[in-house]
Amino acid sequence: MATNNQRTLVLIKPNAVRAKHIGDIIKHFEESGLTLRRIKGLQMSEEFAGQFYAEHIGKPFYAGLVGFMTSGAVVAMELDGENAIQKVRDLIGHTNPAMAAEGTIRALYGNKENMTENAVHASANPDDSARELGLIFTSADAVLA
C-alpha cells in the first residue's frame, strides 16, 4: 500500500501565542497522529512577513496581515505524517473562525470578529509547504523526531 507521507508548516499566530494556546494547539496535531519534527519561536520583521506572504501583495487585507503577523511572537512548527497537509487543513478549519466547524482549531482559538486573527497559518499545498518550511527552518534547527 502506497503512503503519502508529507511535511507541512503551521504557524501559531500572535493572538493565539498571547492567549497561551500554544500547548492546546500542538495537542490537537499530536493527538491526530501527526509528528512534531521541528519547532521554534520567532518575531517576524516587516521584510520577512512581506516575503512570507508575497502572494498576497496588493490584496486589500495585505497591510493588516503583515501588521498583525509582526505584532508579537509566532511559533513555527514542522509537522510530518500521512497526508499531513490535508490533515492539518481539516484540523484547523475554515480561514474565517466564525465559519469554522465546531472543534476545529480556528473555531476554538481564533478571533471570530477578525479573520486575520484566526490563530494559525498552515501550508495549503506541497509547493507552499516546501517554500514556507525553507523560509522558516534551516539545517541548524534540531529535528525532534
Which sequence positions are flagged as catalytic? 121
How far is it, in rounded angstroms, from Cα 143 to Cα 40?
11
In Å, how far are 6, 51, 69 from 48, measured between CA atoms? 25, 5, 10
Rounded CA gap, 98 and 112, in Å? 5
Burial 15-50 (b: 16+ CB within 10 A, else e): bbbeeebbeebbebbeeeebebbbbeeeebeeebbb
**Cβ 19 vs Cβ 109: under 8 Å:** yes
